Structure 1
Amino acid sequence: MTTTVPSASQWGSPNARKRALLVHGMNSSSHTFHRVASALAAKGYLVTAPNLLGHASRMPGSNFQIQTLADDLLPYLEAVEYDIIIGHSMGGLVVLSLLKYLPKTRPTSVVLVDPPVEFTAEQTVQRKVMFSSDVRDNRNVEDYMALNPLWTREDAIWTVLGTQIGRATNAHDHIDGNVPWSWLHLISDKPATATLTVLVADPRLNDSCDVGALAKFKNVKTVIVPNASHWIQYEFPKVIVEEAMRGVEECDNRQ
């Protein structure tokens, strides 16, 4: 059963010994992780998915930098040490910005889901247009299901809600507030005890994540998910859970 708490949603038993933190992307909400969260809860995790500033009826901060979104989540990290941390899209960049705050001695399995780690100036303009069109076109549940045959109706419902209850200017504010759009340098903040896996959409369907730029990092595992769009958590949630659990197993083997 899912319960909603201020600024976040939770799945699983409060008495669970294992913990997972899931961070959603731009123009989304905590519930866009509902399939992944439910699967992790079934494996004995208490799953917490916060809503980012400016999303899901939350007012924005004083600026729109990714680090501001990350710092807003620090109370979650201060209260609990997590076995698994997952971030989708812009949420993946938020997770990268949180790496420096992770425990240096406790293992953490970190999974980034199709994070847009680098944008050229041209790509930045294209993304602003794309995100703005999602709001402007006012797509309904049926529209999203027609465009995304692997989605369930629940997936489409949460997407519509995330788009409609968030701020219409989120895309422009966050993209303009983070120039240049470049986040690969944050990988160096990963503690040695953490594993980092990046799941990438099928390049035939989406080019948000620069696989070539990630290739130079030997401490990052990159997995391209065939037939997946940017919304891997809807289409192939099992892959996300499996990679997160592999990270946990690798962490355990290091101890």
Structure 2
Amino acid sequence: MTTVPSASQWGSPTASRRALLIHGLNSSSHTFHRYLVVAPNLLGHALRKPGIDFQVQTLADDLLPYLQAAEYDIIIGHSLGALVVLSLLKYLPESKPTSVVLIDPSLEITAEQMVDCRARLSNDTRTNRAAEDYMTLNPLWTREDAIWRVLGIQIGRSTNSDDHIDGNVPWTFSHLFANKPSAAVLTVLIEDTRFNGALKLQTVAKIKDIRAVIVPNASHWIQYEFPEVIVEEALRNIEE
């Protein structure tokens, strides 16, 4: 009998389409809560995995039972979760079309950039921001988005949040695109170029057979701000 990690499940288990949603660091499955409103036909699982080991390959190994238990039409990952999805590409079926959407992943980070990344992560986990603070910092968020962010930070605070940096050195994941099965269609959604989108686009632009989409006015949290874009791209890939 296959054992899988705990997860949130939305929709009917007998639905004709299945989607696997993997959240990022300092978050929870409810980072995808808006899909219930925006696209009731995009149903499936969103993972809640608050364990203490944030090494990408370890997380991918932990989630592999999901791919062994069922085939999915759509697989979506945000941030660190997108890197986990990349690590799982080699396990996708060769012939079944799979729509894969990566939400604003940081594919390559230099040693110098690691220092800044660590500082920002430390600030996020140590600053006791309230939901109202997140709403002020992120005008496109709803109060519910902000509340789930606060709870995600609280989950991350109970672990060593530096694990996901120290356990993934060097931070380089672009090579994993080579594991994409021919039947899979892969889209990378990137935050606005006014933020870090331009740098991320430079990395993605070098990869063949990948659709890269800059989402105007979006920050790293595209699933909060423009969830309809994610849904459109996911469905586009399985309808074409």
User: TM-score normalised to the size of structure 1?
Assistant: 0.88
Cα separation, 2, equivalents of 1:150 and 1:33: 15
Paired residue type of 1:131: L
What runs of 5+ residues in structure 2 fail to find an aligned partner? none
Give the drift of 1:207.
4.5
- How far the C-alpha of 1:37 sits from its partner, in A, is 4.9
Residue 177 of structure 1 aligns with an amino acid whose one-letter code is G
Structure-1 separation of matches of 2:62 and 2:37: 25
In angstroms, what is the RMSD of aligned CA positions?
A: 1.7
Alignment correspondent of 1:204: 194
**What's the counterpart of residue 172 of structure 1?**
162
User: 1:209/1:162 Cα in 2 relative to 1: closer, same or farther (>3 Å)?
Assistant: farther
Contact in 1 for aligned 2:22/2:82 (Cα 8 Å): yes
1:32-51 equivalence runs, <5 A = 32-40=31-39, 42-43=40-41, 45-51=42-48
SS at match of 2:217: coil
Evaluate the alpha carbon distance shift between residue 6 and residue 215 of structure 1 in structure 2; reply closer, same or farther with a 3 A threshold: closer
Amino acid at match of 1:46: L
What residue in structure 1 maps to residue 105 of structure 2?
115
Instruction: Please tell me the residue identity of whatever aligns with 1:111.
Output: V
Equivalence for 2:7: 8
Question: What does residue 75 of structure 1 align with?
Answer: 65
5+ unaligned residues in a row in structure 1: which ranges? 251-255
Q: So what's the TM-score if we normalise by structure 2? A: 0.94
Partner SS for 1:198: strand
1:50-71 alpha-carbon deviations (Å, 9 max, x no partner): 112xx2xxx334xx42010011
* Aligned residue number for residue 140 of structure 1: 130
Bigger mean CA deviation after superposition, 202-211 or 230-239: 202-211
Give a deviation string over 1:201-222, Cα, whole Å, max 9, x none: 0020235962111112221000
Question: What is the distance in 2 between the residues matched to 1:80 and 1:202?
Answer: 35
* Deviation beyond 6 Å, 4+ runs, structure 1: none
The DSSP-based 3-state class of the residue aligned with 2:105 is coil
Q: Shift of residue 75 of structure 1?
A: 1.2
- What amino acid does structure 1 have at the position aligned with 2:30? H
Find the aligned partners of 1:129 and 1:138 in 2 and give their Cα distance: 16
Letter in 2 for 1:25: G
Q: How many residues align?
A: 237
Q: Relative to structure 1, is the Cα distance of residues 222 and 93 closer, same or farther in structure 2, using a 3 angstrom cutoff?
A: same
Look up the SS of the partner of 1:166 in the other structure.
Answer: helix
For residues 66-110 of structure 1, what are the alpha-carbon distances to aligned partners after superposition, in whole Å with 9 as ceiling and x for unaligned?
010011001111111000000000100000000001011111000
Query: Aligned to 1:18, what secondary structure does the other structure show?
Result: coil
Percent identical pairs in the alignment equals 65
